Amino acid sequence: MGILNKLDNRVEQFESGNIIITSADKLLNWSRLSSMWQMFFGLACCAIEMMATSASHYDLDRFGIIPRPSPRHVDIILISGTVTLKMATRIKRLWDQMPEPKYCLSMGSCANCGGPYWEHGYNVLKGVDRIIPVDVYVPGCPPRPEALLEGLIKLQERIREQSLAKKQA
Amino acid sequence: MAELRTEELTLNMGPQHPSTHGVLRLVLKLNGEIVDDVKPELGYLHRCFEKHAEAMTYPQVIPYTDRMDYVNAMSNELAYVLSVEKLLGIEIPERVEYIRVIMSELQRIASHLVAIGTYGNDAGAFTPFLYCFMDREKVLELFEMVCGARMLYNYFWIGGLSHDITPEFITKTKELIKYLRPRIKQVNNLLSYNKIFIERTADIGILPVDVAINAGVSGPSLRGSGIKYDLRKDDTYSIYNRFDFEVCVGTGERGTVGDCWNRYIVRAYEIEQSLRIIEQAIDKIPEGDVQSAVPKRVKPVAGESYVRTESPKGELAYYVVSDGSLNPYRVKARSTSFCNLSVINQISRGHMIADVVMILGSFDIVLGCIDR
């Protein structure tokens, strides 16, 4: 049974097979990490790699990650590219429109720290973490699709360890 | 019944919009569903390329040219490298010229596949996007085999190349040519001659020839209007004059000449022509050292040079001014997408909102190239 495999031994199943017992945390985390909807939002070069990752060869769909155009539908925002000062206010606004719980993945050197535009880029924000909280950083210029996939799996692992009782780190 | 009060509506499209191909903002003035005025607002991806170039040495600028038009990085490198080589006045080995042509044409195929795939996506057809990206992945594999990078290569050096090609590359390229021909037909069947797609694009956004020329529109967008203008033929550079290929134009096979469908189909035709060029070049690559002409120190005498090339999107040129030092005094990029975008207001007026998406997509803009 798919759900039971995903919850990996964290459930107790009764003999009839229709009733399972698990904690609310585990069930919520499992459902959150298995359907991380991503915002259909590309900034720069990394967006092309993001598209390549969601296309047939790397197939993001198998992780339950599908692109949605509206920030109100999504759980995760991929900051895929250079954040300029003009765009920074818009990204903050998009982030504020996303419903909780929400996660942010910073993709590529530009979003992590300014990347190649660090020194002379007078219009480039030196890291998207200056405006919104970032959960996972993926290095690379641009990161390969495999690297992005690993970042997303790391984010899934992080969500798996979440708890309702203690505050989200 | 009392008169209905109507008023003009201002609608904001972007910068976060799935069909603006990046972070472009269009301010639409609407009369009901009809578009009265389109004002593109730029600068959301201004990454200060030209200022960067002043602080870098000549070879250090090449990675930044990659990141200008990131869908066709090789063509950007080629234009910049040719411009600096003209300034230096160095002779390039034959082998390098041939490999450069092959790489540029492979990149043209990859870029057009992205253009076709995302254009289908704009129209609501998701399947062609998946097919196009599958094929693009095969082209990227070749690039990766040669220089290790998938998208942004830093492969063309001033006077040469960073790596030589291997015999395996040649066999793989030949296989790719065989593989791609039927795939292009498949994409045409899936998308180009699809009735719904034709309904969405034919007779929409007709670009008149005089408007196109006055605004400096070039590349497939200009050829869609029926003008046979291709810098590879008309102002030939590198060794393009040695190859036999046709300049594809929109013929009005469906719709009218100059509409979205004709602009789109030029790209599908051009993939075939690029395959022809690669076929001719791949067997003739002479032996040689690809780094024999690479200068130890790039320090041109004071002067300036301007080289224009035909990138997949149109006329791409770099103007390089040297003051005799190690850093360029000024590097100006003539960006293709910027000029192509400038006609959008004129040709979108009177169309519906949904058509603006199709018109924008038919120019195949890349915001990195527009904002620089």
Q: pLDDT by residue (tens digit) across A73-116? A: 999 999 988 999 999 999 999 999 999 889 999 999 999 998 88
B345 vs chain A: nearest CA distance in angstroms? 23
Q: Give the residue from chain A lying closest to B150, CA to CA.
A: A144
State which H helix or E strand residue A138 sits in.
strand A136-138
3-state secondary structure of B149: coil
Give the C-alpha separation, A86 to A90, whole Å. 8
| Residue B127 sits at the chain A interface (C-beta within 8 Å) | no
Single pTM value for the model = 0.90
Hey, where are the domains in chain B? 46-371
pLDDT digits (tens, 9 = 90+) for B213-247: 999 999 899 998 988 998 888 888 888 888 888 89
Q: Which residues in chain A have Cβ-Cβ distances shorter than 8 Å to B129? A: 55
Q: Can you give the pLDDT of all 169 residues of chain A as single tens digits?
A: 455 565 655 566 666 777 778 888 888 888 888 888 998 888 888 888 988 898 888 888 888 888 888 899 999 999 988 999 999 999 999 999 999 889 999 999 999 998 888 888 888 999 899 999 999 999 988 899 999 999 999 999 998 888 877 665 5
- In CATH, the architecture of B46-371 is Orthogonal Bundle (1.10)
Q: What is the ipTM of this complex?
A: 0.85
Crossing angle of helices B167-187 and B94-123, in 10° steps, is: 30
**Cβ <8 Å between A43 and B22:** yes
Cis ω on the peptide bond leading into residue B18 (within 30° of 0)?
no
| Residue B22 sits at the chain A interface (C-beta within 8 Å) | yes
Give the C-alpha separation, A158 to A166, whole Å. 14
- Count contacts between A and B (CB, < 8 Å): 96
Cα separations in angstroms, A53 against A48, B248, B361: 9, 32, 21
Please name the residue that has the structure tokens 């009901």.
B32
pLDDT digits (tens, 9 = 90+) for B128-182: 889 999 999 999 999 999 988 888 888 999 988 998 898 999 999 999 999 999 9
B191 vs chain A: nearest CA distance in angstroms? 17
**For residue B53, what are the contacts with CB-CB under 8 A and spacing of at least 6?**
B61, B64, B328, B330, B331
3-state secondary structure of B333: strand
**Of A39, A55, A122, which is closest to B133 when you measure between CB atoms?**
A55
| Residue B367 sits at the chain A interface (C-beta within 8 Å) | yes
Cα separations in angstroms, A56 against A46, B90, B271: 17, 44, 21
**For residue A65, what are the contacts with CB-CB under 8 A and spacing of at least 6?**
A36, A37, A38, A54, A76, A152
